[in-house]
Amino acid sequence: MPEPIISVEHVHKSVTDSTGTLEILRDIHFSLAPRETAAIVGASGSGKSTLLSIIAGLDTPTQGTVRLAGQDLFAHDEDARAELRARQVGFVFQSFQLMGNLTALENVMLPLELAGRSDARKAAGEMLARVGLSERLGHYPRVLSGGEQQRVALARAFVVQPAVLLADEPTGSLDFATGETVMNLMFDLNREQGTTLVLVTHDRGIAQRCQRRITIEAGRIARQEDAVATR
């Protein structure tokens, strides 16, 4: 068996304020192999997005840890975690998170430039062509449709060829037909690059397209199921 690319090890997350302590995540434990696709599903408030943030090292657990490519994320300081994310992880969000003052091309170039790639413009242009936006390179996010903005976000995430792609409700802001187009593209790119995909979704149809479905209820893993892939 290959070494897991992601290992979530007995993760707990709680927050305390004047009203007491709220348990958000309780003893979350699972691992994912390279190239595996997994959907994290559950009701609003179940802890799904918090879990995704902890997997990314953007949030810290109260107990437990996460290993990414064998490295303990929380043995590193924030700067080292950010460097690891830049090399290993891509992100796709419901709200796109594009830089409004940058063109589509510049948005996709950004992570490559931060990594010191001399071919940033060429690689970004090729990836935008791959997602069907070769005619939109010079357009700013404000003049792009929601579906086009999410395709720019996909291009930005995949252009660095990440080992892991994390997606939080990637079709939540899109209509059904546009969401289907975006998800087909995401799974195609994921398969082409051999990325491990972890996505949070309320859409059971999307979840069924993943190899693993992890259901979170009240901060705990209620069940893990193998889904019939229908890519």
Check whether 231 has a pLDDT greater than 50: no
Distance CA 189, CA 132 (A): 13
How does pLDDT run across 214-223, given as a tens digit for each residue? 999 999 999 9
Quick: pLDDT tens for 162-191: 999 999 999 888 999 999 999 999 999 999
pLDDT digits (tens, 9 = 90+) for 15-31: 998 888 999 999 999 99
Cβ-based burial of 229 (10 A; exposed 0-12, middle 13-18, buried ≥19): exposed
Residue 225 has pLDDT above 50, yes or no: yes
Q: What is the pLDDT of residues 17-67, one digit of tens each?
A: 888 899 999 999 999 999 999 999 998 889 999 999 999 999 999 999 999
pLDDT at 228: 57
Q: What are the backbone angles phi and psi of residue 30, rounded to the nearest 5°?
A: -165, 165
**138, pLDDT greater than 90:** yes
Delimit the domains of the chain by residue range: 6-226
pLDDT in tens, 94-119: 888 999 999 999 999 999 998 889 99
The dihedral formed by the CA atoms of 164, 169, 170 and 176, expressed in degrees to the nearest 10: 140
pLDDT tens-digit map of 80-94: 998 888 889 999 988
Give the pLDDT score at 1.
61
Confidence of residue 229 (pLDDT cuts 50, 70, 90): very low
Give the contacts of 138 (CB within 8 A, at least 6 positions apart). Answer: 103, 104, 105
Please tell me the predicted confidence (pLDDT) of residue 150. 94
How many helices and strands (H and E) does the chain possess?
Answer: 7, 10
- At the topology level, CATH places domain 6-226 in Rossmann fold (3.40.50)
Integer angstrom CA distances of residue 123 from 26, 38, 150: 42, 28, 18
CA dist., res. 229 & res. 95, Å (int) = 27
